[in-house]
Structure 1
């Protein structure tokens, strides 16, 4: 069976990130504006995608968006966490993924936030929200169902800030299988040679 179709991003997404540095606190903010079209019925006629903000191998904030199949929505998702980025690796990782089909729709990693001034709340918990002005681009009046999660615990693998991109490639045959086939061919050739020699002696 072929892989299930993933949600699609229409057009070019707009990605930005800032870092507030003040005498009272620090805050890192990322924004993603993208037109997302629902393709696969993951649950209840909706396609499930997730926005993710990573730093130093840890997912700091995420936002789950459920898009009605056949509908295109264009929200601006804002993800924030307290503290400075790049205490380990360069920049942050900003992703939009189709979670059920394990496809990366948007990947900006590393993405270096620009420094700015402003106010923030010290030790505030991570947040992930949709800006109130975000509306669907279709004529429908229903809004997509959304939920937010901000306490992920798993770490990704690889050397980049965020998770590795999942590809559709299959696994190549192992070298052990290749050696097994080679050994079997050599054995068949040896038996054929012995039979030929014995045949000549008998005649």
Structure 2
């Protein structure tokens, strides 16, 4: 099975879009840390080989592609905080991160290709939702790689300040060791209180 290609971007270009951004987010499922989005405008003359859904790539391959994307594309990374996730819900917070990533690009895109089946309601640019887009569009695949690596950096940094939860390896996802650490060490300011496992620990004695 072949990986993503540039055909969705080419179709948008035939409709008049010149600046086309792929947009993806990572971090909906974790119990801790922000949700992170990336927007990437690839140079059609210099698309790194091997772009794919970040989950299908080894860390070594992701890092190599990360450097190539940074060198040859326009990139914007943005986050929505734990507080925003708890206040808004994770879907709306992930869309907020996407909106911020698009707004942070050096140039306003003519078209944003959004991974998933929903377009963030706060977008001010034309957009197209692409289901499983990180496996279809190289621009969205590039965004998935950028978001994954940058969020992992955030979680490794937080792990230095809150040791014991394993964030440097589990990235805040609900691994067995993370759940045990929550029960033994308690809830940190970086845990999502609206998420059931965290909420249950906070209020189990109340």
Which structure carries more helix by proportion? Answer: 2
Structure showing greater Rg: 1
Fold agreement, TM-score > 0.5:
no
TM-score scaled by structure 2?
A: 0.24
- TM-score scaled to structure 1, two decimals? 0.24
